[in-house]
Chain A
Amino acid sequence: MTDAPVLSNETAAPHGSTPIGRVLRSVARLRRSRVGVVGASILVFWIAVALAAPLLAPFPPNQPLQPMAPPGTHAVGGTGVFWLGTDHLGRDLLSRIIWGARTVLVIAPLATLSAFIVGVSAGLIAGFKLGWLDELLSRVTDLVLAFPALVLYIVIISKFGASALNIVLAVTLASSPAVMRLTRGLVLELRNRAFVSAAQLRGESLWYIMVVEILPNARGPLIVDACLRLGYVTITIGTLGFLGLGLPPPDPDWGGMINETRQFALVFPYMVLFPCLAISSLVLGFNLLADGLRELSLQD
């Protein structure tokens, strides 16, 4: 059976052909936005650093070598140079920042992804089914959003303890309601469009309609939100580390590095300066990329 030619444009969900083609096309389009390119470059830089950590780091990140060496000091025994200096326990800062990129670039995307899986599914169901389920999900969302995010993290971490898994779960709990609200709004706009009715008439299942017809057409705002949220989550993980509620030592995490060395900031400002720059640049990368993507979506 073939669709009538007049309807075929409207009843086929308006998204691209193959997944790879679509990704390539979005990358090509991103080049039109200067902020987007800057943001993406910063992210690519940090991802490369995280992937190549074992090759790039000049020293083992957790090994005490030579306490409080200023940047550029040659290590005793000629094993190398402490380009960014060492911290109060004598661990090489450059190596810790490089390995710390791994920590944050694993936990932040994982936590954001988990929040999106929960939030997007709940938003799809609530916006498409409506009725009591929508009412229930919306009320739960309101409740969670009534807690300031950091307070919610503090409450959860103080109850269940600090670990990577608990941070991921806490971020999921605190962020998914906002994602759900956004998705629900997008679904409400799309659910009465012709391609959804067409899919319903074809007898497609509920999941098919939500995932294959509606979701790809709601992806624009969701991707922008994901970039912004990655930035927030990075800040959050850093903040928890800074407050002493983050990942347990000794593995490097940028916020924790600032917390451990901040009492030496008076004499050795470089100890806190470099982790601060690292985390700020990563967040800036996420924010710029989000900005570039939003700019592009407004052009269409």
Chain B
Amino acid sequence: MVKLVGRRAVYMAATMLAASLFLFLLFELSPQEVVVNALGPYSTAEQRQAWLLANGYNRPASVRYFDWLGHFMTGDWGRSRVLGAPVAHLVWTRLENTAILGFWFFVFLVPLALGLGVLSGMREGSPLDRIISTLCIVSASIPPFASTVLVSAIFVFSLHWLPGTSSMIDGFSYRELVMPVLVLVLYDFGYVARITRAAMSEVMTTAYMRTAMLKGLPHRRIIVRHALRNALIAPFTVLMLHVNWLIAGVIVVEFFFAYKGFGSLILEASLGHDLFLLEACTMVTVAIAVTTQTVADLVYVYLNPRIRFR
């Protein structure tokens, strides 16, 4: 186990390093593009020259890369040109807000999706299974941007139950959190429920389930003790890997509801050509993705004794 953790850690670091090189080559290889980004298209040639010299862009690209990497690793991520604040500060405050959103998302998603998946996987082909499966495939087919609009058309514009923006101008409010969480859950529960259903129906056909049934154990006990434990391994790893997928939904939802989170920060950075901010945000998403993948792998090994003891 220790060896596995060590190997995964090295692998994580290597992926991050490769990602940083990719970003550097994409955005910082040509100093001209960097300076136009920093000073705007109407800056004069002298201004640009002075800026390039002052910021060390006259050095060769390889030196600049290691310099950039060093600054990045020590938490010096530069200043945001558009928002006029240190990038690190922006990223951390926005990440906090997105973490709140993500927390409530998982609180509602996990029981709903796993519950529906187990229910429909228990008796494959039953009417209940058909209803749940149809519901899941329809919900997974409505893109998050369409469901934001549809859901707010119902709850905000027709019924006037909930606020249509979640900018939290007057301080934190749970009422403003309802819509973003609802849209994210609507889009995602179908996918997770389908994975759970597949895992559950596979478990239901195994020999140990048949043995338990033939022994005459109560149905409840068979499901809870024997089936669930084995069926939930796959959905758990899927949930972890889902963080990566969640980021896309978060960007859309935060943009639409004007929620001041990390997703809208990435988008602002991209639309405003805010180079340092975009680089930092992308690196953070890669870090999140790689970490959750690693955790998912390790937990999978831990939960599955057939792999753990090999």
**Chain A residues near B (Cβ < 8 Å):** 35, 139, 142-143, 146-151, 154-155, 157-159, 231, 235, 238-239, 242-245, 255, 258, 262, 265-266, 269, 272-273, 276, 279-280, 283-284, 287-288, 291
Among A143, A255, A272, the residue within 8 A (CB) of B22 is A143
Residues from chain B with a CB closer than 8 A to the CB of A245 are 270-271
Interface SS majority for chain A = helix
Residues from chain B with a CB closer than 8 A to the CB of A231 are 141
Are B248 and A150 within 8 A (Cβ)? yes
Among A149, A154, A265, the residue within 8 A (CB) of B267 is A154
Per-position contact with A for B229-242: 1 when CB-CB < 8 Å, else 0? 00000000000000
Separation of A143 and B13 alpha carbons in the complex (Å): 11
Among B157, B271, B281, B290, the residue within 8 A (CB) of A265 is B157
Minimal Cβ-Cβ distance residue in A for B152: A265
9 contacts across the A-B interface (CB closer than 8 A): A148-B285, A150-B247, A154-B267, A155-B270, A157-B270, A258-B149, A280-B143, A283-B143, A284-B138
Residues from chain A with a CB closer than 8 A to the CB of B244 are 148
* Closest 3 pairs between A and B when the two form their complex, measured CB to CB: A150-B248, A284-B141, A276-B146
Minimal Cβ-Cβ distance residue in B for A157: B270
Decide: A235 near B143, CB < 8 A? Known: A143-B18, A159-B27, A273-B153: yes
Q: How many whole Å from A286's CB to the nearest CB in chain B?
A: 8
Interface centre among B144, B248, B266, B278 (most CB of A within 10 A): B248
B271-310: which residues lie under 8 A (CB-CB) from chain A? Answer: 271, 273, 278, 281-282, 285-286, 289-290, 293
Decide: A158 near B273, CB < 8 A? Known: A242-B145, A269-B157: yes
Decide: A154 near B145, CB < 8 A? Known: A143-B22, A262-B256, A284-B137: no
A150-B251, A158-B278, A239-B144 known, 12 other contacts, Cβ within 8 Å: A146-B293, A147-B285, A148-B285, A151-B248, A154-B267, A158-B273, A239-B252, A243-B255, A265-B149, A279-B146, A280-B142, A284-B137
Are B141 and A148 within 8 A (Cβ)? no
Are B137 and A238 within 8 A (Cβ)? no
Residues from chain A with a CB closer than 8 A to the CB of B150 are 273, 276
Query: In this assembly, does B73 line the interface, its C-beta being within 8 Å of a C-beta of chain A?
Result: no
Q: How many whole Å from A20's CB to the nearest CB in chain B?
A: 31
Query: In this assembly, does B26 line the interface, its C-beta being within 8 Å of a C-beta of chain A?
Result: yes
Minimal Cβ-Cβ distance residue in A for B149: A272
Are B137 and A148 within 8 A (Cβ)? no
Among A243, A258, A266, the residue within 8 A (CB) of B251 is A243
Separation of A146 and B144 alpha carbons in the complex (Å): 22
Separation of A289 and B182 alpha carbons in the complex (Å): 27
Q: How many whole Å from B17's CB to the nearest CB in chain A?
A: 10
Minimal Cβ-Cβ distance residue in B for A283: B141
Decide: A269 near B267, CB < 8 A? Known: A146-B286, A147-B286, A258-B145: no
Residues from chain A with a CB closer than 8 A to the CB of B43 are none
Decide: A154 near B141, CB < 8 A? Known: A146-B19, A148-B244, A159-B26: no
Separation of A157 and B271 alpha carbons in the complex (Å): 10
Are A266 and B278 within 8 A (Cβ)? no
Query: In this assembly, does B172 line the interface, its C-beta being within 8 Å of a C-beta of chain A?
Result: no
Residues from chain A with a CB closer than 8 A to the CB of B26 are 155, 159
Residues from chain B with a CB closer than 8 A to the CB of A35 are 137
Minimal Cβ-Cβ distance residue in A for B157: A266
Separation of A280 and B144 alpha carbons in the complex (Å): 10
Per-position contact with A for B245-261: 1 when CB-CB < 8 Å, else 0? 10110011001100000
Separation of A280 and B271 alpha carbons in the complex (Å): 26
Are B146 and A258 within 8 A (Cβ)? yes
Are A158 and B22 within 8 A (Cβ)? no
Interface centre among A151, A245, A255, A273 (most CB of B within 10 A): A151
Per-position contact with A for B17-34: 1 when CB-CB < 8 Å, else 0? 011001100110000000
Interface centre among B149, B164, B278 (most CB of A within 10 A): B149
Residues from chain B with a CB closer than 8 A to the CB of A158 are 270-271, 273, 278
Residues from chain A with a CB closer than 8 A to the CB of B146 are 238, 258, 276, 279-280
Query: In this assembly, does B15 line the interface, its C-beta being within 8 Å of a C-beta of chain A?
Result: yes
Query: In this assembly, does B140 line the interface, its C-beta being within 8 Å of a C-beta of chain A?
Result: yes
Are A287 and B137 within 8 A (Cβ)? yes
Among A139, A143, A148, the residue within 8 A (CB) of B248 is A148
Separation of A283 and B147 alpha carbons in the complex (Å): 13
Among B138, B145, B266, the residue within 8 A (CB) of A238 is B145
Residues from chain B with a CB closer than 8 A to the CB of A242 are 145, 252
Residues from chain B with a CB closer than 8 A to the CB of A146 are 15, 19, 286, 289-290, 293
Residues from chain A with a CB closer than 8 A to the CB of B138 are 284
Among B140, B153, B282, B293, the residue within 8 A (CB) of A155 is B282
Are B27 and A239 within 8 A (Cβ)? no
Are A262 and B149 within 8 A (Cβ)? yes
Residues from chain A with a CB closer than 8 A to the CB of B281 are 151
Separation of A21 and B286 alpha carbons in the complex (Å): 47
Interface centre among A146, A159, A243, A288 (most CB of B within 10 A): A146
Minimal Cβ-Cβ distance residue in B for A238: B143
